[in-house]
Structure 1
Amino acid sequence: MPETSTLESRTEPATATAFAEIVRTASEPDPVPAVHPFRLKALPGGLIRNARPRQWVKNVLVLAAPGAAGMLTHAAVLRQVGIVFVLFCAAASAIYFLNDAMDVEADRAHPTKCHRPIASGVVPLPVAYLCAALLAGGAITGALLLCNTPTAIALGCYLVMQLLYCTGLKHILVVDLAFVTSGFLIRAMIGGLAAGIQLSQWFLITTGFAALFMVAAKRYSELVSMGDKAANSRKLLAQYSDSYLRFVWQASAAVTVLSYCLWSSDHTVGADVALRQISVLPFVFAILRYAIFADRGAAEAPENVALKDRPLLMLGAIWAGLYGFSVLGTA
């Protein structure tokens, strides 16, 4: 009998300890993924991934100004736009390296950004900063040698503004929206600057507010998808409300539609006004289609929405065809 009591007294504490360990483990939050040890073989792939080739689709906007002017059929213009596209890809990748290096701790707290090459340790911080400097310097030098001074100035302004954004301005309400929007606007302008094309005021207004629409929808989607953990990835999201960001993207969408309607009726821009007025229909429906993803909080990656949604691609193709035919006869 004493032996049985002794056995029970030894078993009960062990069982209680095991049960307590299970409860403690279940109640703990999921650990942040561990940083991988540096491996030289993985570095080239990590550098390419951190340059974000998928994001380069945004730089197709350098075609916007020459396309709006009907100048894409000129070989010299196409050559300049092609050069600017490559240079802007280099400049944008420089900012990606810099931003990821500075946000490494916040990215490690994000459920998907923690897998980025810098956050996961595949690309060391010193290498990231070196790549940012080389890409930025190469982009400016290339613009001076292969394009013209206005192009180099615009590219330099983009890099300076993005540097200011990364080093602190991204934490200021509304200012962050303005700086990200300006990046898209400079993309849309720089192709025209490189080709020596005069930029229309309607082109600038429409492009600027369309960019603000997408940026605000992106922030809104980040806030909705991350919920209470949004501030862990982007501190400023804790200060925004979903109702405010919804107001911004709705208002900017309305201004985009209005400005394009006015642009399509402008008789001073040298285009087939009738065709361009018809192009308002696919343009407006494309905005409405994109707004579906914004409303659902699914516009966190604008490039994915633009490239993967077939109805949106079809509307974009119809709009491009109508607008292209409207300017080809007067270019």
Structure 2
Amino acid sequence: MPLLDSPRAAAPAVAPPPTRPARLAVDLVRLVRPAHWVKSLLVAAVPLLDPRSWHSAELARLGWSVMAFVLAASAVYVGNDVADRHRDRHHPVKRDRPVASGRVPVPLAYVWCLVLLLCLALLLTAGLVGPAWPVLAYLALNVWYSRVLKHVPLVEAGVVAVGFVLRAVQGYLAVGAAVSAWLLITVFAGCLLLIVGKRRQELLDSGVAHRPALRGWSVELAGHLLQLTGVLAVTAGLVWMGTEAPFDPHGEAAMLLSTPFVLYLVSRYLQLALVRGTAGDPVRLLLRDRAVVTAAVLWAASLGVLYAAARFPAIAAALS
């Protein structure tokens, strides 16, 4: 039996450091921000509520449309990280990004971006997503954004929100459904709410060094814009629930049922943004805050019951 005080026995096992190729592969994955791929699920979120899209062809187009936006957004993330690498070094969190930190060379990042765009081009030319103009518009808008619009205060936030609207439009086109104006307003206002909260937190954390457009912002202005966009998002969302959402003939019931959940979720976000100062990463915040997740699950379950009652009246009659 080895002695307890033996140097060989007492030495802790130390895991070998990752090799450079392994670390580089991890950094290339980090460049495309897998945690943010959930944003592209907006393509399929609402069309799946319509039973007319529950067919293999429509579901396949929805799936490929989600993949198309994942590839497009990933290419945009890589391109933006290359373009913003000098400013990101002034940000307490973004300075650790693979390109800004120097772990991924700029030429390799450009090659990675081209690979993603090539995969997207193959997907679109194969005709798997149906009408693809929202994806192409998203790419064109982001090129314009990277060169010009990102330096225009307020406009740059609206451009980012429009990217989410294009995701929703792509979903409607994939299943051949009519686009809901109230839903698009809801998506735009809701996303703008999150972006304004993020800009406010950036002002508090690092000032304007890493984002020149913030010179046209102030913490007070961001607070007022949070109120404005919050009201617009809640109003448009509830109107959509009561008029164009697929809950007919229970649209008013869906609107009434959704009101407390929507108000709580928006209020909770404002609390996290204004009181706790945790709005710097909206995706992480919304997916990890227990109160937000619990309220969203309860809301979805309630609407699921109402949706079943609307789509399967025989079951509702039997239960009643």
After TM superposition, the score normalised by the length of structure 1 is 0.81
Letter in 2 for 1:196: G
In 1, the alpha carbon distance for the partners of 2:109 and 2:63 equals: 26
Whether 1:235 aligns to 2:212 is yes
Whether 1:64 aligns to 2:45 is yes
Unaligned runs of 5+ in 2: 1-18, 313-320
What is the aligned partner in structure 1 of residue 155 from structure 2?
Answer: 175
Higher relative contact order (CA 8 A, sep 6+): 1
Whether 1:203 aligns to 2:183 is yes
What per-residue deviation string (whole Å, max 9, x for no partner) do you get for residues 276-313 of structure 1? 12122212211111111121331111111111111111
Counterparts of residues 120-139 of structure 1 (less than 5 Å): 120-139=101-120
Whether 1:291 aligns to 2:270 is yes
Counterparts of residues 1-331 of structure 1 (less than 5 Å): 39-69=20-50, 73-150=54-131, 152-226=132-206, 230-266=207-243, 271=248, 272-277=250-255, 278-296=257-275, 297-328=277-308, 329-330=310-311
What is the aligned partner in structure 2 of residue 28 from structure 1?
Answer: none
C-alpha contact 2:180 2:244 (8 A) present in aligned 1: no
What per-residue deviation string (whole Å, max 9, x for no partner) do you get for residues 223-263 of structure 1? 1222xxx2221122232111111111210110111112222
Letter in 1 for 2:225: V
Letter in 2 for 1:47: L
SS in 2 for 1:231: coil
In 1, the alpha carbon distance for the partners of 2:155 and 2:272 equals: 24
Which is greater in Rg? 1
In 2, the alpha carbon distance for the partners of 1:327 and 1:199 equals: 20
C-alpha contact 2:65 2:129 (8 A) present in aligned 1: no
For the aligned residue pairs, the C-alpha RMSD in angstroms reads: 2.2
Unaligned runs of 5+ in 1: 1-37
In 1, the alpha carbon distance for the partners of 2:48 and 2:253 equals: 15
**Number of residue pairs the alignment of both structures matches:** 290
Letter in 2 for 1:248: L
In 2, the alpha carbon distance for the partners of 1:100 and 1:64 equals: 28
After TM superposition, the score normalised by the length of structure 2 is 0.83
Letter in 2 for 1:218: K
C-alpha contact 2:78 2:109 (8 A) present in aligned 1: yes
C-alpha contact 1:275 1:325 (8 A) present in aligned 2: no
Letter in 2 for 1:55: H
Shift of residue 318, structure 1, vs aligned partner: 2.0
Letter in 1 for 2:37: W
Identity over the aligned pairs, expressed in percent?
A: 31
Letter in 2 for 1:251: L
